[in-house]
Amino acid sequence: MVMKQPFEQVVEQHGGTVLRVCRVVLGVHDAEDAWSETFLAAMRAYPDLPDDANAEAWLVTIAHRKAIDVLRARKRQPAPVGDVPEAPTTLGVPGDRDGDLWHAVGALPEKQRQAVAYHYVAGLAYAEIAEILGGTTDAARRAAADGIKNLRKNYPGATKEGAPS
């Protein structure tokens, strides 16, 4: 019989991955809010999660939904002009050393960016990504492959073989 671990351990074990995914999908400024919303929702739903469920995939699914909420809210709000943004910490920020790479990832079409984030940052299987994005496993695999192909083509740090250096 599989025993479900305490929620605090789930947060400790998967919190970093969820934050990195949120940062890749949303950018640094909105990621922490989405992360917090993800774990608030997860905390409420955790008692009903089956003991043998993949907690990481479950959390990334929740983070995906929270990211969509943030993106929708962002579209409804005017952008401030003339304000100097606060300088966020770079601790744990994807791309702290590879700003060009993360800019290139941010420029990918939405489905490609999400598939790349969920597969290469969160380590989810294509079947799990398909479930999150609402498509087929083949479509998730294709979106991730197209995203990597675009990164290899457009990222200035790519090597001859096309892999980031």
Average pLDDT value for the chain: 83
Same domain, 2 and 65: yes
State the total domains in the chain: 2
Q: Contacts for 70-79 with beta carbons within 8 Å, 24 or more apart?
A: 70/26, 70/30, 70/33, 70/34, 71/26, 74/30
- Report which of 110, 102, 120 is spatially closest to residue 60, judged by C-alpha positions: 120
Same domain, 72 and 141: no
The backbone region for 92, taken as left when phi is positive above 0, alpha when psi lies in -120 to 50, beta otherwise, is: left
Residue 113 in any domain: the answer is yes
pTM for the full predicted model: 0.60
Domain limits at 138?
98-155
pLDDT digits (tens, 9 = 90+) for 62-109: 999 998 888 888 777 766 666 655 665 555 555 455 667 777 888 899
